[in-house]
Amino acid sequence: MGTPATVPGVEDRQRPERMAGPGLAGSIAVGVCGSVGLVLTGSRIGSVPPASYSWWFSLPRTAGPWMAVVFYVSAALMILGWLGLGREARAGRLSLPTAWLVLALWGLPLLVGPPLFSRDLYSYIGQGLIARRGLDPYTVGPSILGPGTLLSSIASVWRHTASPYGPLFVRATWLSALVSGPSLIVQVLVYRAFELVGVVLMMVSLPRLARRLGTSPGVALWLGVLSPLALYSFISSGHNDSLMVGLMVAGVTLAVEGRLTTGLALCALAATVKLPAATAVVFLAVNHVRSTGSAGRPVVERWKEAAGAVGLAAVVFAGVTVVCGYGWAWLGPGALHVPTELRVFTTPAVSLGTAMFHLLHAVGLPVASSPTVTVTQAVVGLAAAVGCLVLLVTVHRHEVVHSLGLALILIVVGSPTVWPWYLMWGLILLAATPAQRSRLMAGVLALAMLLVGPSGSPRLGGHWYIVVTLALAAAVVWLIRDRHWRAVVVPRAA
What are the tens digits of pLDDT across the range 94-141?
999 999 999 999 999 999 999 999 999 999 999 999 999 999 999 899
Length of the chain: 494
Q: How many Cα atoms occupy the beta-carbon half-sphere of 179 within 13 Å?
A: 11
Is 43 within the bounds of a domain? yes
Range of the domain at 69: 19-94
- The confidence score (pLDDT) of residue 8 equals 42
pLDDT value of position 22: 56
Q: Which residue has the higher pLDDT, 8 or 79?
A: 79
Q: What is the pLDDT of residues 216-236, one digit of tens each?
A: 999 999 999 999 999 999 999
Tell me if 38 is assigned to some domain.
yes
List C-alpha distances in Å: 135 to 139, 141, 285, 491.
8, 10, 37, 49
- DSSP lists the bridge partners of residue 41 as none
Q: Using DSSP, state whether 458 is helix, strand or coil.
A: strand
Q: Is residue 86 part of a domain?
A: yes
In a domain, 242, yes or no: no
Q: How far apart are CA 297 and CA 22, in angstroms?
A: 52
User: For residues 39 and 109, is the Cβ–Cβ distance under 8 A?
Assistant: yes
172 within domain boundaries? no
pTM: 0.89
Task: Indicate whether 29 belongs to any domain.
Answer: yes
- At what angle are helices 217-224 and 96-112 packed, to 10 degrees? 10
216 backbone dihedrals φ, ψ, rounded to 5°: -85, 120
Our count of domains for the chain comes to 1
The answer to whether residue 329 is domain-embedded is no
Q: What is the pLDDT of residues 41-65, one digit of tens each?
A: 998 888 988 766 778 777 776 666 7
Q: Examine residue 186 and state whether it is found in any structural domain, yes or no.
A: no
Residue 6 confidence (pLDDT) above 50: no
Q: Cα 256 to the chain's mean position, in Å?
A: 21
pLDDT of residue 10: 42
Query: Radius of gyration (Cα) for the chain, nearest Å?
Result: 22
Distances (CA, A) of 241 to 12, 39, 320: 32, 21, 18
Cα distances (angstroms) measured from residue 120 to each of 156, 225, 350, 457: 11, 20, 21, 11
CA separation (Å) from 220 to 214, 217, 251, 421? 11, 5, 17, 17
Alpha helix positions (H), 91-136: 96-112, 120-132
